Each structure stands twice: as C-alpha cells, then as structure tokens.
Structure 1
Amino acid sequence: MDAVVAYLDVAATTRVDQRVADVVLQWMTEDFGNAGSRTHEFGARAKKGVQEARAFLASTVGAKPEEVIFTSGATESNNIALLGLAPHGEKTGRKHIITSAIEHKAVLEPLQHLQETRGFEVDFLEPGPSGRISKDAVLEKLRPDTLLVSLMHVNNETGVIQPVAELGEELRGTPTYFHVDAAQGYGKVPQDLQAPIDLISISGHKVGAPKGVGALVTRRRGWDKAPLTPLMFGGGQERKLRPGTLPVALIMGLYEAAEIFRTNRERWEQDARQMRERMLAALGKTRFHVNGDAQHSVPHILNVTFDGLNAEALIVRLKEQVAIATGSACTSASYTPSHVLTAMDLPTEVASNGLRFSWFPDQVADFDPQGIAETIARMQPDVVPGK
C-alpha cells in the first residue's frame, strides 16, 4: 500500500471541499442557466444565485453587493485594479505608486509594466528581516501625485500579515487609493478587510473553492466609485469592468466555500495554531530559522530555512512524506532565490533555501511532523536525531 503524503501546500491551492463540489455540480448540471438570460426560469434562478453570492461576499468584507465584481481570481482582480486605475492617474497627473518588494508577481509585474511602458514612478518598499512593511514607511513616501498604494494582506511565502487595516484608515482621508491583494488573507484575518480599503482582490481556491473564480471589491468613497477603466470590452457584465458570461457554478462554489470557512474560522484558527506548535516542537531536533515575524503571522503558514541544507534536495527527500514548496507556485519552476526572502535582506544562503509549510488542520489531522523532523535531522550531520 502506498504511503499517504501529507499535503502541506495550501498556500498554493486548497482541496475543494466535497460540499462545495456538490454545489458546483448542481449548478453545472441542474441549475445550469445563464445569469444573463431574462426570458426563462433557468436564467432567473442563475441570476438569483449570483445575487445571493454577491451579497454574501460583500458582507464578509463590510462592503455593499454592488461593490463586488466577480473575476477569475486574484491575478485578474489585481490587473483590473492596477491597470484599470492607470488612465485616471494619467489624466490627473498622478503617476506615483507605492508598493512593496514582497508582493506577488500578479502585482509586481503589472506595476513594472506601468513603470516601463507608461511612465509611472513606483516605489518598491523593502520590509527588512521581519517581512513586514511598516505603516510609517508607506506614509513617508506619500506625495501629492501618489495615485495608489498597493500592499498585500498576507504574504504568500512567509505568512506575515501586513498592516493593511491601519493603512486603510490613514489613506481614507487622502486622495490616494488603496489596493490590497487579499488572496492569502481573505477569510483568515477577516477583521482587517473591514477597514476602508478601496480595492480588495480575492481568490477562491485559497479557501476551498474551485480554481478560476475570485472577486474584486471596489468600495466607494461616499458616492464616488473608484475610477477604473475596463481592460476588456464586450457584454457589459459586472458593471462593464469584467465582461463575459458569468461562471455561475464557480461563483456558487466560492459562495459555499466562503460560507463554510466563515462558519468554522475560529475552530480553524485554533487548530491551525496547534498544528504550528506541533511543527515547531518537532523541528526542535533540527537547526532551523523561521523566516518572518512570528508575532504578525497567520497560523497556517510557516517558512523555515534549515542550516546547511538545500531546499530543493530536501523537497525531493521528503516527497514521500509531505507535499511542500519553496514559495509561490507561480514561480516554483525558477530555482532562483526567493524575491520575498531576498527583499527581507536575508543572506543568500537563507533566501535560496526557504521552505514553506502551509496547512488546513482538518486535512492533516493525522499528520505527525516527527517523521519529517527526523529525516531532516539525519541530513544535518552535526545534529543528532532525537536530541
């Protein structure tokens, strides 16, 4: 019988909950109507379902239903927010943007595009060894021509929570818009996203929903909408910001997954923290360093470097025990040092060999980290297993 491999890579993607899969199947095979069809009951049911999903997603971040735009995921949401706001910056002469050097590539690359092809000036702030950008560092960079601040909620490699709630409060009184990539933080640190953040990107497959669905929250300032220009045209759906036939089944899957996660979040957090403690206790028999500020981290992501060990070799050695990664799934094919750990000013040896463990506790309830700790300890010649 094959050994069971524990899945510790939920920061890359999560397993779809069976209840979510059942809902998706229902909306694909039974209630399969087009939400844009106005002449029959199939379309009416689909439209009503989408309306309910939109209202629920809005409630989870303290927004209004009409402020939620369904997308294919956080990458598309990021592009709509960043590239969609650019024409307003060009029109008003505000072409300065503040972000961090530890953002996901889905933020860094659109901003680099604006910088290289459209004359925008972008400040990429570095966090230092804590992995956390300070609120003051952002505010010190504000200028009269600052169009946007874009800062992720939770770092996808280290799990460090960024001060987005505090920044939302500070920036609300300025003309600068605030975008938050909440792909990793949505559902896990819900209170932060209640802050007055103008644009929030959400990804479904980080909370047990199918891949291919997410949302962009476009919160109004009073009566004023965020001045976004669409990137695509044809159909007028989603307030003309994201045209195309709505993927009703995926939207309903996101709705179900988000509702399940909100219902179980407190227990999830408690169990995830206990799992973290078990991991750290087991790894105590090895020589390792936690990368990132443990006091400001989500409980289910742990980034560590093991002294004297190559991360890629370690992944291969552990592949029969656990599924883990070196960092972002979008860049895992590249064996260069992590841009996140590098921006934290960690030594090259550390930045090149960070390993990310990430878990949903109910999916690894039977996992004993002692096994991998013993394997790692045996690979460190000056560490005696069991000591």
Structure 2
Amino acid sequence: MSTYLDYNASAPIDLRVLNYMIDVYKNSIGNADSRTHNFGEKARSVVETARNQVATLLGVMPDEIFFTSGATESNNIAIRGLEDYANSTGKKHIITTAIEHKSILETVKYLSGKGFDVEFVKLGINGRVNSEEILNRVREDTLLVSVMHVNNETGIIQPVKEIGDSLEQKGILFHLDATQSCGKLVEELREIKYNMLSFSAHKLMGPQGVGVLVLRKKRYKLPPVKNIIYGGQQEHGIRPGTIPVALVAGCGLACEIANNEYKDNFKKASEIKKAVIQELDASGLEYSINGDPEFCVNTTINVSLKGISSEALMISTKQFCGVSNGSACTSKSYSPSYVLVAMGIDKNIIESSLRISWGAGTKKEEAIEGIKQLLSVAKQISS
C-alpha cells in the first residue's frame, strides 16, 4: 500500500468533515440566499455557522470572512479587486516575492501589462525573504505588498509578522497567502497584521473547491476590494454566485477541528519530521535540505538526494509513497522548480530535489515505512 506524502498539494479530507458534508447535501437542500422559505433559512444557518468557525480559527470577525472557490480565486480577488482603487488614487506600485504561488505571480504580471509597476523581491539560498528587502522598496505610490506565510515547496516560514507590523504603520495594504499555514501555525497567524488573507480548505483536510478571502476592517471599513466577476450580491457582492452550502460547511468544520486539535497535530508532525531526518541520516545517502531548517514548518521537508534524479525516483517509488518535486500547479511541465531557481540553488541539486509533506491524517509508522522504501530504491538507483 502506498503512503500519501504530498499534503502540500492537497490533504485527504477528514472523514468527520466528509460525513458532515453528506448530511448537509441530504438535509440542507435550499439556496442560502433564498429568503422566502425555511429551506433557505436552514442553508443560510449552515453557512453562517461555518463563517463563525473560520473566524474563530483565525481570530477575526465573521463579517470579515468571504467564501470563494479556493485560494487561487481569493488571491485574484485580493489583487485584481484593487485595480479601480489604484487607478483612482494613482497608487500602482506592487511588491511581492519571486517565490509566491502562481496565482499571485500571474495576477501581478497581468496588472503589470496594464500599467502597474511590479517588483519581485529575490531571496537567498535559505529560502527566506529579507523583510528589509521588502520594506526598503516601499514608496509613496505603493498600493500593495503580497507575501506568502509559508512557501508551498520548501515549507520555509516568511517574516510576515515583521512586514505586517511595519506596513500597518505606513498605511499600506498587505495581503497574506496563508494557504500552507492556516490550521497549522494557528497562534502565529492570529498575531500577524494584514488587510487581506487567502487560504484553501483542502490544505487543512477540508473539501476541494472552497476557500476563504479574509478582508479585515479598519475603522469599520473593508479594504477597497471590488468583485472581479459579476452576478448577484452573494458574499456582499465580493464573490457573486450561489454559495455551495455543503462545501462551505466542510470548510467550517475543518477549521473547527484544526482549532481544537492543532496543538496535538503539531506534536505529531514534529515527531514525523524528526523520524524522516533520522531515516535520511541512516540511509548512507548524501543529501541536503533546501531552505533553512530553523525557519521550516514541521510538516514539510524539501530534500536533495545527491546524484539521483527526482523524476526517476518518483516514478520508481509510486507503489510505495506519493511525493512530489514541486508545486502541483506546475508539476505537469517537468520544468525546474521556479522556487528553488529563485533561491539560487544549483541546477543539479534542483533536479535531485523532492518535496515530502504530511499532516494531521498521516500515521507516523506508515510515513516512515514509505520513506524507508523510497530511500531503499534511491540507493539502488545511485549504485
């Protein structure tokens, strides 16, 4: 039996979440925006319960939570939704990093083609952007800074608290992609100052197809974000379209479970990471870890096995474990990881690099067995 070790791409759904969603599909059949009958009221109650569950996890107000189809859509709304405001104020300077998710990079490139000045901050081999590199680029016409909390390929935690603290004082909008940290770095996330935040439910064992955009109020006003698609007034017009009640319910319950269990999950994840490194040390293979381990989450390791093609190794070990060598949104291209390239890592190291990731649903014994099998095949390939 193969062990799933690609949680950063998508985590398996928690069975408690799935069972709740099935119940909602069966028994909450109304449209949450139908106001003329009890079916609509019941569906709306399910949605608002979920909104409160998400808000509790993040430590924000329920009316700051907007449901979307996922982090990619949330990222698009957060950035493209500022276009009218930017044109009216003349603030058209955007700062981001070279290692952001493609939904950020492609969106700001789109705006660049419409006259926006976009700066992509590079970073060092440690995989962590220097906060001063970000803050020193702030100008009078800076509209937005967008930085991910945790990189999806390396697991490296970015200095977003320092960035957020400074930007708040300067009055500059800050967007945080928390897709890989939501439900994991719970207490840290609550302390960060930001205006907009994005995440997908499926990264914390919720359903695929639903996510959240958080818009924090300041002096009772939301950030100047407008909808980028048109329709009704669902989600206060920020995200028109019929609310998928069961998906939203699953997102909410996944957040509630994460809020209740994140401390235990953190301990389990740390034990797995320690065991993975022990197996690497015992294998006799020469390896290196991409990114600074001091600033890495305990659910991810991006490791290079010297002289071993990651493509060949993944193909040869499919029956034992599921791992990856890059972001799921670009994995079909078989091109070198743009994140590792941006870190200045040698091409040979990149070609031998694997991303191994796990989560709350991972059993330590199964993870270690999968890693042992992977390393056993790696030794055969290297000999």
Deviation at 1:377, TM superposition (A): 2.2
Matched with 1:260 is 257
When the two structures are superposed, what TM-score results if normalisation uses the length of structure 2?
A: 0.96
| Counterpart Cα distance in 1 of 2:360 and 2:76 | 32
Q: Identical aligned pairs, as a percentage?
A: 40
Contact 1:337 1:353 in 2 (8 A): no
- Which residue of 45, 52, 56 corresponds with 2:53? 56
Residue 228 of structure 1 aligns to a residue whose secondary structure is coil
Matched with 2:67 is 70
| Counterpart Cα distance in 1 of 2:226 and 2:204 | 29
Matched with 2:133 is 137
Residue 124 of structure 1 aligns to a residue whose secondary structure is strand
5 Å-filtered alignment, 1:1-387, equals 4-116=1-113, 118-194=114-190, 195-284=192-281, 285=283, 286-360=285-359, 362-367=361-366, 368=369, 369-381=371-383
Whichever residue aligns with residue 338 of structure 2, its letter is H
Residue 363 of structure 1 aligns to a residue whose secondary structure is coil
Contact 1:164 1:192 in 2 (8 A): no
Flag structure 2 segments of 5+ consecutive residues without an equivalent. none
Deviation at 1:363, TM superposition (A): 2.6
| Counterpart Cα distance in 1 of 2:361 and 2:90 | 51
Deviation at 1:217, TM superposition (A): 0.2
Listed one character per residue, the Cα deviations across residues 257-291 of structure 1 (whole Å, up to 9, x for unaligned) are: 11112211111111111111111111112111100
Deviation at 1:208, TM superposition (A): 0.7
Deviation at 1:191, TM superposition (A): 2.3
| Counterpart Cα distance in 1 of 2:147 and 2:128 | 11
Deviation at 1:378, TM superposition (A): 2.7
Listed one character per residue, the Cα deviations across residues 106-139 of structure 1 (whole Å, up to 9, x for unaligned) are: 10000011112x1111111111111111211111
Contact 1:6 1:364 in 2 (8 A): no
Contact 2:57 2:258 in 1 (8 A): no
When the two structures are superposed, what TM-score results if normalisation uses the length of structure 1?
A: 0.95
Whichever residue aligns with residue 376 of structure 2, its letter is E
- Cα 1:238–1:361 change in 2 (3 A) is closer
| Counterpart Cα distance in 2 of 1:38 and 1:106 | 35
Contact 1:7 1:364 in 2 (8 A): no
Whichever residue aligns with residue 90 of structure 1, its letter is N
| Counterpart Cα distance in 2 of 1:175 and 1:83 | 19
Whichever residue aligns with residue 334 of structure 2, its letter is Y
Deviation at 1:50, TM superposition (A): 1.1
| Counterpart Cα distance in 1 of 2:162 and 2:96 | 15
Residue 332 of structure 2 aligns to a residue whose secondary structure is coil
- Cα 1:230–1:362 change in 2 (3 A) is closer
Contact 2:97 2:121 in 1 (8 A): yes
| Counterpart Cα distance in 1 of 2:352 and 2:379 | 16
Residue 366 of structure 1 aligns to a residue whose secondary structure is helix
| Counterpart Cα distance in 1 of 2:210 and 2:307 | 40
Matched with 1:384 is none
Contact 2:200 2:210 in 1 (8 A): yes
Listed one character per residue, the Cα deviations across residues 350-385 of structure 1 (whole Å, up to 9, x for unaligned) are: 22332100012543333223332222123223xxxx
Contact 1:11 1:358 in 2 (8 A): yes
Residue 330 of structure 1 aligns to a residue whose secondary structure is coil
Deviation at 1:223, TM superposition (A): 2.5
| Counterpart Cα distance in 1 of 2:127 and 2:200 | 22
Listed one character per residue, the Cα deviations across residues 43-102 of structure 1 (whole Å, up to 9, x for unaligned) are: 111111111211221122221111110000000000000000122112111111110000
Deviation at 1:215, TM superposition (A): 0.5
| Counterpart Cα distance in 1 of 2:143 and 2:315 | 45
Residue 169 of structure 2 aligns to a residue whose secondary structure is coil
Whichever residue aligns with residue 147 of structure 2, its letter is L
How many equivalent residue pairs? 377
| Counterpart Cα distance in 2 of 1:94 and 1:361 | 42
Residue 173 of structure 1 aligns to a residue whose secondary structure is helix
Residue 178 of structure 1 aligns to a residue whose secondary structure is strand
Residue 202 of structure 1 aligns to a residue whose secondary structure is strand
| Counterpart Cα distance in 2 of 1:318 and 1:183 | 28
Residue 257 of structure 1 aligns to a residue whose secondary structure is helix
Contact 2:307 2:352 in 1 (8 A): no
| Counterpart Cα distance in 1 of 2:321 and 2:100 | 26
Listed one character per residue, the Cα deviations across residues 150-179 of structure 1 (whole Å, up to 9, x for unaligned) are: 000110000001111221111111231000
Bigger mean CA offset, 239-248 vs 59-68: 59-68
Flag structure 1 segments of 5+ consecutive residues without an equivalent. 382-387
